[in-house]
Amino acid sequence: MMNQPLLTVIVPCYNMEKYMDKCISSIVNQTYTNLEIILINDGSTDNTGVLCDSWQERDNRIRVIHKQNEGLAYARKTGVENTTADYVTFVDGDDWIHVDMYSNMMAAILSTNSEIAQCGVCMVFEDGQKKHLDSELITGAFEIVSRIDGVLLILGNDKWHSWMWNKIFKKNLFDGVDFLKGNSYAEDFISVYLFHKANQSVYFQDEYCYYFQRNDSITGSTNIPKQLKNQYDFFFAWHDRYYFVKNNPEYHNTLSSIKMYVFGLGIHLMRNIIVFPKLSTANFNVITKQIRAIPLKKEDKLHISLKIDYYILKFAGAKSYKLYRKLYITILKITNFLKITNHPPYTLLSNMWGCLGIWK
C-alpha cells in the first residue's frame, strides 16, 4: 500500500444491469489494490441501482451515489467532486479492463513524475469479434510524451482519442475544467484541456481497455431524435475545440482541419434540422450564428457542397430560416440533377436523404 497511492475509479452507470457485473469484477480484481471505487447510478430505470448497492456490500472499497439522470458528463463530474484520491480514472459500465491495467499505468506515472497515463484499446463486438486498435501484446512498455505533442495527438483524433476511460489523471488537472451538463456524446472532449494542463504524459500501446460495442449504445442508436441530439453534442464539442486551438498558438497547425470539421458538422446538422424540424431540439439560429462567426479563407479547402451551403447561409442571414430552407432545397435539386456532388458523410444521419421526399 505504501507504494500504491489511492486511485479513484469512477463508474457511471445508467441502465447497465446486463453488463455491470463483468465491469465491476474487472475493477475489484485489479493487481493494484489501493482503490476507491465510486459507482454513480445516474437515474437508472432498471435494476442498476440495486446491483450497485449489492456490490457496495461485497467490497468495502466501493461507494455508491444515486442521483437523478443528468447525462454521462455530469455523472463523471459527480464522481470527481466526491473523490478523496490524488489520482482519478473512469470505466464505463458496459466495458471492462485488464487485470494489470492500474498497476502498470500507475507505476509509469509515479516513476516518470507524469500527470496522465494512457493505454491502448480493444473493441469487442456482441458476436465476440475483436478489433485491435493498438497492440494486443501486454509488454508494460511505455513512452513519455510532452504536453504539446500530447495535445496535438489528441487533436489529431487518429492514433490518440479523447476517451476518458483509457486514461488515469492527476486529480488537480480537473480544477477549473467544466463538464457539459446533459452531454452523453462527445462528453470526453474535455480531455484536451487536461492534456493542455499536464506537463507530460505516458502512453502504453498495450490494450488494457475492452471497449464493448453494444448495438443499443449511445453511438449505435438508430433513434432519430437521439441521433440529432448526439449530432448537436458532437458539433458543439468540435466548435469548442476550434476556439481552444484558436486561443492557443502552439496548436495552430491543426486549426484549418478542425475548422473544416466544424463547418461540415454544423452544415449537416442544419440540413437535418430542415429535414426533421419536429424531431430536433437544437436551435437553428444559434447554430447558424456559430458557423457564420468562423471566417472562411480562400486557402481553406472546404468541400464544394459545404461551400455552397456556407454561402447560402451568408446570403440568407442567421435568422432567415425559411429563406435558407428554400434556397438550400433548390440547390440540392440542381446539384443532384447535375451530379455535381454527393453529400459527404459528416452527418450521423447519412444515407437517409433519398427516402425523405426532400427532392419532391
pLDDT band at residue 335 using 50, 70 and 90 as cut-offs? low
Outline where DSSP puts E strands in 91-199. 96-97, 116-125, 130-132, 142-146, 167-170
List the domains of the chain with CATH numbers. Answer: 7-213 (3.90.550.10), 224-355 (no CATH)
* Strand runs labelled E in the chain: 7-13, 35-42, 62-67, 87-90, 96-97, 116-125, 130-132, 142-146, 167-170, 200-213
Mean pLDDT, rounded, of the chain = 85
| pLDDT surpasses 90 at 31 | yes
Q: Do 208 and 101 form a contact (C-beta atoms < 8 A)?
A: yes
How far is it, in rounded angstroms, from Cα 226 to Cα 216?
Answer: 12
54-63, 136-145, 337-346: least confident range: 337-346
* Confidence at 144, pLDDT banded by 50, 70, 90: very high
pLDDT value, residue 56: 98
pLDDT of residue 49: 97
Q: Is the pLDDT of residue 81 over 80?
A: yes
Q: What is the tens place of the pLDDT at every residue in 287-326?
A: 888 888 888 887 777 777 677 777 777 766 555 566 766 7
pLDDT at 345: 34
pLDDT at 219 over 70: no
Average pLDDT over residues 138-146: 96
Phi and psi torsions of 97, nearest 5°: -135, 160
Q: Residue 47: pLDDT band by 50, 70, 90 thresholds?
A: very high
What residues does 211 pair with on adjacent strands?
A: 123
What's residue 357's pLDDT? 33
Question: Which tens digits make up the pLDDT trace of 184-206?
Answer: 677 899 999 999 999 999 999 99
